[in-house]
Amino acid sequence: MNIYWASVYVATIFEVLWVIGLKYSASIEAWIGTVICIAFTFILLTYAQKKLPISTTYTVFTGIGTVGTILVDVVFFGEELKVVKVFFILILIFGVIGLKIVTNNHNKELEKETYNGMA
């Protein structure tokens, strides 16, 4: 895993935090924390998109963030987890994994072309 993908994954953690913060912030301190999480999310995502394809980066980011938000909602806030919801979460996860694999293969091909062109 490279630093750019790592920043996408960390950005999704901050995304889950600020999404929860939007619903549950009741004090000025909680709102400040939510705004800080929003800022970190966009800083990290902007950094990642300097070297990664924006379409795949954003799709992976939103997919992981969606699954993370659902899981936090189930674990910490008592949201009911139905079989249908699990089915669609799995589809989302497989889609994110597929995009990540395709992007990694594409990036490796570009690196080979660049290296061969320089030799």
Domain boundaries defined on the chain: 3-118
The fraction of the chain above a pLDDT of 90, given in percent, is: 38
**11 pLDDT exceeds 50?**
yes
Phi-psi region of 53 (alpha: psi -120 to 50; beta: other; left: phi over 0): beta
Q: Using pLDDT thresholds of 50, 70 and 90, give the confidence band for residue 45.
A: very high
Nearest-angstrom CA–CA distance, 21 and 32: 10
Q: What stretches of the chain show up as alpha helix (H) in DSSP?
A: 3-24, 28-48, 54-77, 83-118
At residue 13, the pLDDT reads 95
| DSSP assignment letter at 119 | -
Angle, vertex CA 14, rays to CA 13 and CA 17, nearest 5: 95
